[in-house]
Chain A
Amino acid sequence: MQPKLTLLTDEFIDRILDEAYQLLLRPGIKVQNAEARQLLGDSGGQVDEETQVVKIPAQIVKKALESVPHEFYLYDYDGKPVVHYGGDSVHFDPGSSGITMLNPETFEHETTETSHLIKLLKIAEQLPQYDAQSTAVICHDVHKDIHDLYRLYLVLLYSKKPVVTGAFTNKTVQQMIDMLVVFAGGKDALREKPRAVFDVCPAPPLIWSNFGSGNLIALARACVPAEIVSVPLAGAAAPVTLLGAVTQHTAECLAGITIHQLARAGSPIVWGGAAAIFDMRKGATPMGAVESAMLDCSYAQVAKSLGMPTHTYLGATDSKLVDAQAGLESGITAMVGALSGINMISGSGMLDFLACHSAEKLVIDSEGIAMAKRMIEGVKLHTEHLATDFYDSKINFKGGDFLKQKITMQLFRKEQHLPSNIIDRDSVRGWKESGGLDAFGRAKIRVQELLASYAKPELDPIKVADLHAFMRDLAKQAGMDSLPAHDLSPAVV
């Protein structure tokens, strides 16, 4: 039995949905994309072109909810289904859209470049706790017109895992889809086995921007999975109450799904977000706050009541260093996410309100994720009788008796998660002998080990050459004659 955390009663879920449907009519949703307004208007939505506000009646939302898939998979490079969006499956990926990265020696938050992203990709590729990669940080050493697609290009070169990504404009989303098509070997192949999901954000409160709705439409038409990342900031850009903020989140998601399904019914889309409370002392959006996690757990319940696949942003911290605050906020919220049965939990590795990434934190977080995953495996029955068979004739009432049983050797790995040496369970002597380090110190060593053990993925050289050519063209269009050099860049540009 997978243990579940639920915060809402069925009655609250009904009331949230009921009021969210009311919000879709009054005040309505501001839709800043003409094509999206047209889709909604043609289907019975009441469009005010002047204010761009669309009143979306319940029946078209309900129709969208009927056509939307309740589950789908993301596939790795080899075509293996790895990430299951649906039910109570739980996966984790590193947080994305970081703009800085922690230098573990100087503690500076460095502006991120190509080398930073590659470092994170190499680490995440080798940690089994991350079922997907993400386009984790922006590479400021390339032109901003290609920031989004250049990240995806690097992930495709350095990883075989599925990808959580996102486009920054309506033009680049199409180019990124085309990039995936190159690697999938055609549009139909990509449709059949999508490698990536694209985050698409509404703007709180109740706005689907030109870019957001444009992305929804493009992704729906290409049948490439979209992931709504609705960001209610409770107390500032959403009602201060958790129930109020979740209701706004619900309305934004329902509107997004409706636009998406009107563009192409049956395309996959995820009910997700990066909900946070608004900190009234600093005016910040704390991702590590327990209330932020409560918002996520709650909206996941609403999503599940509709049979929707789910996503959230948890496992991150607002601390600036990989310290005790980072550990407790990341560990606690990752556990809440897992117990909420959320299909994709993004945020690991991140500090400073999702702005700063850390390779060391990514390594430490993987241990928290392992604990959370062990937790949701639950308490299992491994033996016919619970205990009585353990007390055989060899029992002599000594403490070590059970260590000598074959069944202990057979089952201990199934019952106990065996942590890496990031987690210290050594004696004082052993701890001192191995350097007397804290978790951050151990993580620094582990990062170096992982960077050393990373092996290039074996990719079809023709596809890789096509990808390089595709990327070079786009870079040229952005005014760049060459791209930053890195391990897997072509020898001759």
Chain B
Amino acid sequence: MIENVQIEELYKQMAQSIIDGEAELAVELAQKSIELQMHPLETITKGFVVGVNYIGDQFGKGEAFLPELVMAGEAMKAAVATLEPELLKLGEAREMMGRVVLATVEGDIHEIGKTLVGTMLSASGFEVYDIGVDAPAEKIIGKALEVDAQIIGMSALLTTTMVRQREVIEELDKEGLRPRIKVLVGGAPITKDWAEKIKADGTSEDAVGAVKLAKQLLGKE
């Protein structure tokens, strides 16, 4: 039987692999935990999540930077993907903060901001479905219904495409899907006034703020 000291050491290595953004190492460590018959959920929460939280914290303080944040997010994704089949076997699922569908609206192909929000949300424990750019209203809503999302996040970089955000919200209202589904809007031209005007549930100017907002909307903070 594996000793507690070894497990603690392994948790440390897992956290470090996320901090260093070493996806391959994170996967190796996840596999090792399976071989050692460690509990997959505990492996995630006591090992890998510690690393994500650390790097998120450092980022908030201005001491870690976007490449590190993104690499950590990618490493986290890879580690969780390795452990997910084990969780399914046990009939357990990682408790998620919530499910979010992300998209850049129709006619708009800008996505760096949206991708960052996605990375931050996943790293913070949200289940993120990023359906990419140039997404029409029906595709966004369809995906939200399919995965039973609590939040839709929409990005628009252009003043000419930001109006599409309103179309999606109007469509949701028509279908009676609100307030079941909350809507967050973002992008360079998006202001608080705009968000209020189109009756969105909130907007943030950056990825860190978006995570905070998403947690608040779901009463997780």
Residues of A within 8 A of B (CB): 398-400, 403-406, 408-409, 412, 418, 421, 427-430
Contact = CB atoms under 8 A, between A and B. Distances in A.
Contact of A408 (B67, B111, B112, B206): B67
A405 B62 CA distance: 21
A-B pairs with lowest CB-CB distance, top 5? A427-B205, A399-B112, A400-B115, A409-B67, A403-B70
B206 A430 contact: yes
B110 interface: yes
Interface in B76-111: 110-111
14 contacts: A398-B115, A399-B111, A399-B112, A399-B115, A400-B116, A400-B119, A403-B112, A409-B71, A418-B65, A427-B205, A427-B206, A429-B205, A429-B209, A430-B209
Contacts of B110: 399
B191 to A, nearest CB: 9
A280 to B, nearest CB: 46
Given A418-B65, A421-B62, A404 B71 contact: yes
B177 interface: no
Nearest to B71: A409
Contact of A403 (B66, B204, B208): B66
B74 A404 contact: yes
Contacts of B134: none
B68 interface: yes
Contacts of B111: 398-400
Nearest to A399: B112
Contacts of A421: 62
Contacts of A399: 110-112, 115
A408 B66 CA distance: 10
Given A400-B111, A412-B65, A406 B206 contact: no
B21 interface: yes
- Report the interface size class on chain B: 20 to 34
A428 B203 CA distance: 13
Contact of A409 (B21, B204, B206, B209): B21
Contacts of A412: 65, 67
A404 B74 CA distance: 8
Identify whether the interface residues of B are mostly helix, strand, loop, or mixed: helix
Identify whether the interface residues of A are mostly helix, strand, loop, or mixed: helix
B207 to A, nearest CB: 10
Given A399-B110, A400-B116, A409-B21, A429 B206 contact: yes
A50 B21 CA distance: 79
A412 B21 CA distance: 14
A409 B64 CA distance: 10
Contacts of B71: 404, 406, 409
Contacts of A408: 67
Residue from A403, A409, A427, A430 with most neighbouring chain B CB atoms (10 Å): A403
A421 B63 CA distance: 11
A405 B68 CA distance: 10
Nearest to B70: A403
Interface of B: 21, 62, 65-68, 70-71, 74, 110-112, 115-116, 119, 204-206, 208-209
A430 B205 contact: yes
A429 B115 contact: no
A398 B205 CA distance: 21
Contacts of B70: 400, 403-404
A421 B112 CA distance: 24
Contacts of A428: 205
Contacts of B112: 399-400, 403
Contacts of B209: 427, 429-430
Contacts of B115: 398-400, 403
Given A400-B116, A430-B205, 12 more contacts: A398-B115, A400-B112, A400-B115, A403-B66, A406-B21, A406-B71, A409-B68, A412-B65, A421-B62, A428-B205, A429-B205, A430-B206
A399 B115 CA distance: 8
B131 to A, nearest CB: 13
Residue from A399, A412, A430 with most neighbouring chain B CB atoms (10 Å): A399
A400 B104 CA distance: 14
A418 B63 CA distance: 10
B122 to A, nearest CB: 13
Nearest to A411: B67
A275 B65 CA distance: 42
Given A398-B111, A421-B62, A403 B206 contact: no
A430 B206 CA distance: 8
Given A427-B209, A429-B204, A429-B209, A403 B62 contact: no
A243 B99 CA distance: 71
Nearest to B22: A406
A83 to B, nearest CB: 30
Contacts of A427: 205-206, 209
Nearest to A427: B205
A404 to B, nearest CB: 6
B133 to A, nearest CB: 8
Contacts of A405: 67
A400 B66 CA distance: 10
Residue from B62, B67, B71, B209 with most neighbouring chain A CB atoms (10 Å): B67
A95 B70 CA distance: 42
Contacts of A398: 111, 115
Contacts of A406: 21, 71
B211 to A, nearest CB: 13
A403 B116 CA distance: 9
Contacts of A400: 70, 111-112, 115-116, 119
Nearest to B74: A404
Nearest to A400: B115
Contacts of B204: 429
A400 B70 CA distance: 9
Contacts of A429: 204-206, 209
Nearest to A418: B65
A453 B95 CA distance: 42
A371 B7 CA distance: 46
A418 B59 CA distance: 13
A408 B119 CA distance: 16
Contacts of A403: 66-67, 70, 112, 115-116
A403 B111 CA distance: 13
Contacts of B119: 400
Contacts of B74: 404
A294 to B, nearest CB: 38
Contacts of B67: 403, 405, 408-409, 412
